[in-house]
Structure 1
Amino acid sequence: MNYIKHLTGFFEKVVIDKALNPTHVSLYMALFQFWNCNRFKNPISINRDEVMRISKISSKATYHKCLKNLHSLGYINYEPSYNPFKGSHVILFNFSEDLKPAPKSERKLKYEPLVEPVSVQALNKSCTSSETGTEQAVVPSINYINKINISNDKNVSNLNEQAKKIEEINNSDLKTETEKEKEKKFREKKKEEFIVTSSIVEKPTIEIVKTYFQENNFPELEAQKFFNYFSSVGWLVGGKIPMIDWQAAAQNWIINSVNFNHNTDTTPTNRPKHLNTITDKNYAEPL
């Protein structure tokens, strides 16, 4: 059997038959491959999973439907087997005999070229005659061109809108950064103003400090220590922040000094009893 003529005859039937779809053609080509491996002998035994894998059909319902359609349309003879251990049988018909030889008037010359040179755009011959052609014209219509132009305009407008949105986002980011910088500068300015106003507070003299310590029944020596210490650090608390209320600092000084003196008073009450020995000790005597 000439399989080229067979496939040619099959595809001629496919062109005419409107009941077929690409799934039918794919399934038939898979069956044709099995028939080819069987050296074109009928019937052939098929395996459903193998045929579905080759024809790229993933649904069992679609597979059985297309197989029955090919049987009913006369492309194959399907003999199903309901035995799971025995494959179904399919008989394929030879379509090479259906081809009719072309008449001598339509045959080409021996040395005639197979492809005619085309110098202009190829059109359907039915469109060149005075009658109306049944096929679609090759030249694009004006409506189609207008649709393309409209779609291009829409794409351009969409791109412009996206660019505007990106620009707005960038501007908003810049605004937030400038606002953050302004807030930072404002905080620094407030801090400087606080330091300046704090440093303007009047510093006490040694006489005022002594009077304050005496009013709190505290010796003048501690008043002198308090005044000397904070004068040496520029009346700064912790060496950084200017002192606002020196009287509150003096109260803390008094409280801490009282606790310090109480804690440092570690006079031993029970002294350990040391052993008293002499140099000329007789080690034969008991202790």
Structure 2
Amino acid sequence: MNYIKHLNAIFYKFYGDDRLNYAHLSLYFALFFYWNLHRFPDGFYANRTEIMKLAKIGSRSTYHRLIKDLSDWEYINYLPTQNPTQKTMVRMSQFCTSSSTETGLTGTLMQRYCPKNVPLTLYIKHSKQYKLSKERKPKNELEVIEYFKLKNWPSLNAVKFFNHYEGVGWKIGGKTKIEDWKAIAANWMLRAEEIKEKPKLQIVSKNTDYLITNEQKNYGEPL
């Protein structure tokens, strides 16, 4: 039994089965975990208490309804017993055989599960562009200046930005490596704009005498 191929096939079936809800899927994967734990035998003992805990099912009636649904819909074969000396067994249905054509799953994984009306090349192209767009640090100061010009940001800020992070080894807080310097540059400019918008503090002369005032006060009024 191929673990990966089986999961690919079962996800394919889940996608097209509107009878299922999240609780069915949770129970199925709890059973799948046990099946994997026992090295994929034909059948295994289903410990209801442990499986309910693993699947986050709090009610016995809900558990029995869900496991019966999975059995009726042929995702599993549920073999309950009324004999207290015998154990309840579960057999998992296999949806992926050695030949992918037997299950109708032909082609690569991307070809099988990507929407048919979207060309596969778009996924590949987008993925490559996303990876290339993330650069840990610029090649040199000139690259930073050119990028700031492209964004219509002041060149002086580009020089300050480069000198600051070049001095700290292109790390945040001196510890965490920068994953995308362009994103950090955008945050740098946001902070620069915030500082620019703050009102300038009034500079007060040291010789200012606060006791001298032109304001007329009535010292007879109570405080």
TM-score range, shorter chain: 0.3 to 0.5
- The structure with higher relative contact order (CA 8 Å, sep 6+) is 2
Q: Report the TM-score, using the length of structure 1 for normalisation.
A: 0.37
Higher helix share: 1
Q: Report the TM-score, using the length of structure 2 for normalisation.
A: 0.46
